[in-house]
Amino acid sequence: MAFDPSRSWDTYPDIEITLNVNGKNYKVKVKPYERLIDVLRYKLGFTGVKEGCGRGECGACVVLMDGELVPSCLVLAVRANGKKIITVEGLAPEGKLHAVQKAFLDTFAVQCGFCFPGFAIAIKHLLDKNPNPSEEEIKEAISGNLCRCGSYYRLIKAAKLASEYVRQGKIYFDVKR
């Protein structure tokens, strides 16, 4: 390969985009090749969004983009320009837990926890569309998320429990400690 300084990634121009993340507007300069996950994590500090594979295979990085579930590792930041993004940090107001998160606690589901932001978003997405999902629908909704520690049984149980909370109108819970 011949040496060509003009090929360097560094020489691409910055593009300014606007993102609405968890209800707040941000203006950020990004490179055309930058991924949404990196902008969320490193430029805006939403490190609840996790990278497990970078290929859309593990679900750790999923966010809601205008209400749709997307792996943020596969979305270029420029494509998210003007969109509304919800990450795990935006599921509940500061100091509160969303029903899904409360259900994770109630089922003692947490192990290493690296997968939980992704599962939380995937289940929230399911409940937004379908507040009373069957076990099959729950499994379908989280079939793109890997939990290598193997908390699946509890995650299924938690999704059921969260749907009950939501149907009872209990969306937010106080955090005890």
In whole angstroms, what is the distance from residue 85 CA to residue 63 CA?
7
- Residue list 147-176, contact with ligand FES (CB under 6 A): 147-149, 151
Q: Given candidates 53, 128, 130, 140, which one binds ligand FES under the rule CB under 6 A?
A: 53
Is 133 within 8 Å of 141 (Cβ atoms)?
Answer: yes
Stretch that binds other proteins, among 76-84, 90-98, 123-131, 164-172 (CB under 8 A): 90-98
The DSSP H or E segment spanning 69 is strand 68-71
Select 57 or 106, whichever has its Cβ closest to ligand FES: 57
Which of other proteins, ligand FES, none is residue 71 near (CB under 5 to 8 Å by kind)?
ligand FES
The only residue of 48, 52, 90, 117 in contact with ligand FES, by rule CB under 6 A: 52
Phi, psi (deg, nearest 5) at residue 154: -75, -30
Nearest CA to 21 out of 71, 100, 85 is that of 85
